Structure 1
Amino acid sequence: MKLFKSADLIRKSKYISRDLSWLRFNYRVLDQAKDAGRPLFDRLRFLAITSSNLDEFFMIRVGSLYNYLDYGKERVDYSGLRELPFRRKLLDFAHRFVNDQSMTYLNELKPQFEKNGFNILRMDELTELELKKADGYFKNTIFPLLTPMVYDSYHGFPLMMNQMLILGVVTRTGTGDLETEKGQERLTFVQIPQNLTRFFELTRKEKVLFVPIEEIVRANLPKLFRNVEIESADLFRITRNGDFTLEESEDIDTDFIKELQQGLKTRKRGRVVRLEVEPNASALLMTVLKERWKIDNGNVFVINSLIDLKGLLQILKHPNFRGKTSRQPAPIAPLSLPEGADENLFEYLKHHDVLLHHPYNSIEPMVRLLEQAAEDPQVLGIKQTIYRLADDSRVTAALLKAAENGKHVSVLFEIKARFDEERNIREGARLEKAGCFVIYGVSKYKTHTKMLMVIRKEGEKVTRYVHIGSGNYNEQTSKLYTDVSLLTTNDVYGHDVSEFFNVITGHSQPDDYEYLITAPKDMRQQLVHLIREEARNAKKGLPSGIVIKINSLEDKEVIDELYKASKAGVPIRLIVRGICCLRPGRPSLSENIEVRSVVGDLLEHSRLFYFHQAGQPRLYAGSADVMVRSFDRRIEALFLIVNPQLKREAIGILMLNLLDNQNSYVMREDGAYIRRQPQPDEVIVNVHKDFYRRDEERLANATPDSMLALLTAAKAVEEAAALAAAEAPVEACSPEEEASADEPEAETVEYVVAAEAEEKEEADRTNA
């Protein structure tokens, strides 16, 4: 049987590991934090985002891996590695990322704090007056909230909350009346209250000083441990497995909401998958924590900078620094919606379709449609799917008002939306109390579609006003996420969306839709069919091409069809923000495929699918990514853009993304990314700025012929090859370029089949 080193396995696989690809995405975000051309406050924001992203990655993706490891389930990664060798490779790459993250903070950002009007200081760097203020804050605010929890034979190991900062304090027993064994080391845990801000704020002349709250607690520990010798006090933070799957009961009498609420409690006690700790932590502390949580050095991340960089967001919110981050321009009017037309959307939409491109176009027309519908006496009913809402949501307010005004309101509230479950349960209950018909999702599936339908009586007929898109009904995130959505009264959309609501709120299985492609019905099959059509056209010598803009590309069946289309000669351009499991540019496999990722001021969230079809393109938009979960475990919808004007607008969106040379990263065959740099004679294109300009010329050039010319130009492929040869990738080291530090040169790993030698070694290391 042939044997390979794990790095060789990863190289040989025709797929990129989903999880390693995600870590590379976070490297692209970190690259924005490293960008010296950005204002410091922008760079701090990107650094905080990398920290937030990594927290969720460990909770969900690493948590999911441990669901296999802890229960002895088999799992083969796209790279070909089994669970244990893959765990090692993944954690090695995560360690390198965390080190780069810390170095970015310490070497590139922190030296700039003083000249930007602030600093983060330790207690020993404060003046006497500043120390008094910090000590007063401890006495009056922090001290009453602290509960030291000793761990010994009489006190059980305390429950430690997920992602809470904790001090592990090692003391030596003193001479008090309660001491039974003099001179013994004891371990006590002090959890830092989560309901206090990360930093205590002071002013020194014209500068703002931020003192980490844990430093204030550490300096005042003698007030918690009186007449006791404190040997060490080390800060740490844990991340627990947050990936739980709710087994939905077939019993119709079972209360699903109660089951979900019970399941959410497991997150508080989930398995520890990561331990972040300060350097040189107490040996006693580390031994206890590793034994208690059954983790080894792979799960332990020694943080040389600030633990939990999300706390930096507090600095950006300080009154002195509001507005210091880059601000987006005011939204512009949609090309298909003249100024003032949204004053009476019912009248305008009777005769016109509207394509909204957020945040360049405001979400306001959709919100206004809902608010006008709530008050309009001719409106009979409203139906809507909701996945994530804003705080103080105007969407909720409009639905409540509609119910109050006697309209029939049906809402599907997806309470399985990760980390928004409790909020959605709460908001759904408010709507139910007001008289809305609320359902909390569909059994076995997560409803991810974004659909709204207003039913209005107009004379002798009923008109359906439809809104459908790629983004959430969330006024806050719509200012930060790029999305597309459609407003229409077209009867075909109205019929399809009505049928779709009957599927998710009732018990209906329509044979087909005219303008929708839906999951789990047949989205994968439909996309495969469209890709195969392009391959057939290429073989016949007809013009062909595919452009797909999505968040994630992971489904093997679709990837394999894209490989076949590439071999057939179809030029394929993929704009994938995050995970991409496809390998572009591999000889005899994907030579005609280019992958790029756009990462910048805005979060790319829109999904668009372009199939050239010999010059009569089909163009879809909607909520779905190309992922197994999207096709098999979610309710999703893509809508066909049929209006010629709107189709041209959508083509223009894709073309500008392909031309961007300010926020784009080109993917190499090995999965690493190179930042796209404009050539000396090249026009600067920045999608996150240029879409804020109404550009009639750009729209005029957004034709199928122009798209084909862009796709067939050899420049893109040659440029990617030149970049790959000349430039270093944004990540410090690709898993395919460097063997694991724990992987000796002679060590081999069995291909896909069980890697017994490594598994035994890994098990021995864990138990050591």
Structure 2
Amino acid sequence: MRFPKLYSLQPTTTPHSDTPDSGLLINRELSWVRFNLRVLEEALDPAKPLLERVKFLAIFANNLDEFFMIRISGLHQQIRSQTVSHSPDGLSPLEQLNQVNQELSLCLNRFAECWHRDLLPQLWEKGIRINCYDRLQPEQRRALRRYFQQEIFPVLTPLAFDPGHPFPHISNLSLNLAFVVTDPASGAEKFARLKVPDLLPRFLPLPDADCDAAAPGETADFIWLEEVIAANADLLFPGMQIEAAYPFRVTRDADLTIEEDEASDLLETIQESVEMRQFGSVVRLEITRAMPERIRSLLLENLDLAPYQLYTVDCPLGMAALMELAKLDRPDLKDAPFTPRLPEFLSRGESIFGALQRRDILLYHPYDSFNPVVEFIREAARDPQVLAIKQTLYRVGANSPIVDALLEARENGKQVAVLVELKARFDEENNILWAQALEQAGVHVVYGLMGLKTHAKMCLVVRKEPGGLVRYVHLGTGNYNPVTARLYTDLSYFSRDPALGSDVSDLFNAITGYSHKSDYQKLIAAPAALRRQILARIEREIENHRQNGGGYLAFKMNSLVDPECIRALYRASQAGVRVELQVRSICCLRPGVPGVSENIRVTSIVGRLLEHARIYYFRNGGADEVLLGSADLMPRNLDRRVEVLFPVTDAALREMLIHGILQLHLRDNCQSRLLLPTGQYQRIAPGPDEVPLNSQQWLMENDWFTAEPAGPRWAAAAQEAAAAGEPGASQ
């Protein structure tokens, strides 16, 4: 893998001394690269089913595309503007890009080796054959040519590049073929660009010799779409001699910049911004090694790129398309399916409102079904006693049953107010469509607060009952999206607690109207109070430890970036507080530094399911406190978003979270990696006297999590685990 070296106008080899704590922080971009390496390691794991490994290759490639569109594009912007600011760890933009490229080159070499030497041969052995065009039989080529003429040729548009034809626009993430053709009459060499249509499958089922084409699923033999196009290019350029076709791919800056204070209509402004995403500045040009220097130079010059923005790869381009193979109907090559559990009250047909009159409800998706969340809103829509529903929508996906239930509620005469976050990155178009559909149905739709994304996951139902109006709330760590709820681990919390209901009602009023309210009875909301409250709780733990000992913090989150929070955790470690962190992706805290963070242990789980829940546990001198919510400890979550953390006050639910969920994941010794002081990760393996524990698999196979955990099943399971010495038991 070739990654050209970058050259800084002010080269440095060590973090800048004027950056506070620079040596104690891990660079955010490098931490992300190492997270994606952990994703790649799942594809490299021979113990995993074959198509699951292919899926992880696709996820790695898709993650990398987004990384370049958002994070690397930001570094390029700083380089172009000659910005001299440094990251919190003391690196300039050029230094960060250099180090990212160095680590990415190793990752992509491993990626290519995994695909060519490991997965591709195994797929062939299992009957999923990715063929090369030049090895096909003549009758197969004839059948493919007929298919090309009928199904592919009509949608292709070759674009010439010469003095009479300007260089064509290359859209973001599109796969292209650079054709070199010769005019026999003049002998002149010409260049043309062809976009490979993304509406067609990347892996074409190989036709049978006796039929025009094979329908998807009828054969396990495939051919790359671009190979079929290149092999039949004579039909695109009749009378010309085809010299070669070279694939290339462009990545553009896709981070929307929206000047909300200048936008008269936010929805229209975001629509226009999404359309402009295809025209963002180019940050990466990908080619294969076969492309000659003159074509590389032509592309670099016309795309206005520096040489260091050229990436030469050893695989087919756009490998996120491997997800097509991962979706093949081959259960023998995939993880065994599991069925999410339904809580007892729903299994016996009881109303969720009736169940909540007895106690709060906690669900852990996808081990527990997401259906109760959908049913909560659906039941509210149909219940004649329900007067109003208010909800936030961040990423709901297509064909949303949640939106359908909200539309039904409006049809049934309920007051419905919905905050649709139009700025949810890469979901803007979906959310615009849902916002328009809801508005047309008479729903009160708002787009959030000026300058802030609303990331909080909240639903409020107001119901008329014999004693008066009662507020029911659902608060969660994940999106109201039934599809991702099968793939992401998230927590759902239902309650009719009057204080919590009042808080959620006040927060909705702040979002939809005008309010300077910052402190609530139970909710902790960003941007006004969340940072302050988290820091105060860490300081409280330090003080409790100084007075009585036994200080302990355990946080589970997606990312840990915020320098102020990291410094607070360092102070806790220096005071002797034991800190356990489980951070799935980016972690800028450097654990195990003598005198600073030797009492901090950081792990990361990357496995079958995406760990998405946020849990913050404070031992608090024995008065345990657990906060759940939507916020990671990142500047954007603490300062630039509407976020919510909320306490779990039900003692039984709190115990289940601490000992059943949090400690179980922290003791994982199969899917977990340990963050080292160097910033690298080391896979954790069970010791000679330890029982292997894959926390995700354990949760799929054991029914610890029920809607009513105070019952005997949860207690019996906890006692059984303790007797067996399993780490999920109380400590």
TM-score by shorter chain over 0.5: yes
Q: SS at the partner of 1:13? A: helix
Report the counterpart of residue 234 of structure 1 in structure 2: 246
When residues 90 and 222 of structure 1 are mapped into structure 2, their CA distance, relative to the original with a 3 A threshold, is same
Which of the residues 342, 363, 368 maps onto 1:361? 368
Report the counterpart of residue 655 of structure 1 in structure 2: 663
Report the counterpart of residue 85 of structure 1 in structure 2: 95
Report the counterpart of residue 146 of structure 2 in structure 1: 136
User: 2 CA distance for matches of 1:439 and 1:339?
Assistant: 32
Report the counterpart of residue 542 of structure 1 in structure 2: 549
Query: Which deviates more from structure 2 when the two are superposed, residues 58-67 or residues 81-90?
Result: 81-90
User: 1 CA distance for matches of 2:280 and 2:518?
Assistant: 43
Deviation at 1:74, TM superposition (A): 3.3
Report the counterpart of residue 380 of structure 1 in structure 2: 387
Which of the residues 313, 328, 332 maps onto 2:341? 332
Q: SS at the partner of 1:343? A: coil
Q: SS at the partner of 1:661? A: coil
Which of the residues 605, 627, 646 maps onto 1:598? 605
Amino acid in the other structure paired with 1:403:
R
Amino acid in the other structure paired with 2:34:
R
TM, length-normalised to structure 1:
0.87
Deviation at 1:333, TM superposition (A): 3.8
Amino acid in the other structure paired with 1:398:
A
1:685-714 Cα distance to aligned partner (Å, 9 max, x none): 1111111312434545999xx9999999xx
Report whether the alignment pairs 1:572 with 2:585.
no
Report the counterpart of residue 646 of structure 2 in structure 1: 639
1:549-601 Cα distance to aligned partner (Å, 9 max, x none): 00000000000000011000010000000000000001111000010000100
Deviation at 1:233, TM superposition (A): 1.1
User: 1 CA distance for matches of 2:153 and 2:281?
Assistant: 30
Report whether the alignment pairs 1:27 with 2:64.
no
Query: Which deviates more from structure 2 when the two are superposed, residues 223-232 or residues 142-151?
Result: 223-232
Which of the residues 254, 257, 260 maps onto 2:270? 260
1:465-493 Cα distance to aligned partner (Å, 9 max, x none): 10001000011110110001100101111
Report the counterpart of residue 484 of structure 2 in structure 1: 477
Q: SS at the partner of 2:390? A: strand
Q: SS at the partner of 1:312? A: helix
Matched residues, number: 698
Report the counterpart of residue 215 of structure 2 in structure 1: none
Which of the residues 198, 205, 208 maps onto 1:201? 205
1:534–1:544 Cα contact (<8 Å) kept: yes
User: 1 CA distance for matches of 2:346 and 2:199?
Assistant: 45
1:244-265 Cα distance to aligned partner (Å, 9 max, x none): 22111257xx111111111112
Report whether the alignment pairs 1:244 with 2:256.
yes
User: 2 CA distance for matches of 1:37 and 1:204?
Assistant: 34
Report the counterpart of residue 623 of structure 1 in structure 2: 630
1:207-256 Cα distance to aligned partner (Å, 9 max, x none): 611100000011111222222232321001111111122111257xx111
Amino acid in the other structure paired with 1:440:
Y
User: 2 CA distance for matches of 1:556 and 1:460?
Assistant: 48
Report the counterpart of residue 511 of structure 2 in structure 1: 504
1:342–1:348 Cα contact (<8 Å) kept: no
Deviation at 1:313, TM superposition (A): 1.6
Percent of residue pairs identical: 39
User: 2 CA distance for matches of 1:638 and 1:698?
Assistant: 29
User: 1 CA distance for matches of 2:95 and 2:730?
Assistant: 39
Which of the residues 192, 195, 203 maps onto 1:191? 195
When residues 566 and 342 of structure 1 are mapped into structure 2, their CA distance, relative to the original with a 3 A threshold, is farther
Amino acid in the other structure paired with 1:200:
L
2:455–2:642 Cα contact (<8 Å) kept: yes
Report whether the alignment pairs 1:490 with 2:497.
yes
1:92–1:298 Cα contact (<8 Å) kept: no
User: 1 CA distance for matches of 2:365 and 2:22?
Assistant: 40
2:179–2:245 Cα contact (<8 Å) kept: yes
Q: SS at the partner of 1:330? A: coil
2:593–2:677 Cα contact (<8 Å) kept: yes
Task: Note the residue ranges of structure 2 that are not aligned, 5 or more in a row.
Answer: 1-9, 210-217, 705-713
1:240–1:271 Cα contact (<8 Å) kept: yes
Query: Which deviates more from structure 2 when the two are superposed, residues 196-205 or residues 624-633?
Result: 196-205
Q: SS at the partner of 1:69? A: helix
Q: SS at the partner of 2:686? A: coil
Q: SS at the partner of 1:415? A: coil
Query: Which deviates more from structure 2 when the two are superposed, residues 459-468 or residues 24-33?
Result: 459-468
Amino acid in the other structure paired with 1:535:
I
Amino acid in the other structure paired with 2:111:
Q
Amino acid in the other structure paired with 1:424:
N
2:143–2:208 Cα contact (<8 Å) kept: no
Task: Note the residue ranges of structure 1 that are not aligned, 5 or more in a row.
Answer: 176-181, 713-768
Report whether the alignment pairs 1:422 with 2:417.
no
User: 2 CA distance for matches of 1:701 and 1:556?
Assistant: 41
Report whether the alignment pairs 1:611 with 2:618.
yes
Deviation at 1:306, TM superposition (A): 2.0
Q: SS at the partner of 1:417? A: coil
User: 2 CA distance for matches of 1:629 and 1:648?
Assistant: 31
Query: Which deviates more from structure 2 when the two are superposed, residues 165-174 or residues 626-635?
Result: 165-174
1:367–1:394 Cα contact (<8 Å) kept: yes
Query: Which deviates more from structure 2 when the two are superposed, residues 62-71 or residues 457-466?
Result: 62-71
Amino acid in the other structure paired with 1:230:
I
Which of the residues 459, 462, 467 maps onto 2:474? 467
Q: CA RMSD in A?
A: 2.4
User: 2 CA distance for matches of 1:161 and 1:367?
Assistant: 38
Deviation at 1:22, TM superposition (A): 0.4
Amino acid in the other structure paired with 1:248:
E
TM, length-normalised to structure 2:
0.92
Report whether the alignment pairs 1:294 with 2:318.
no
Higher RCO, Cα 8 Å, sep 6+: 1
1:648–1:699 Cα contact (<8 Å) kept: no
Deviation at 1:299, TM superposition (A): 2.0
1:545–1:708 Cα contact (<8 Å) kept: no
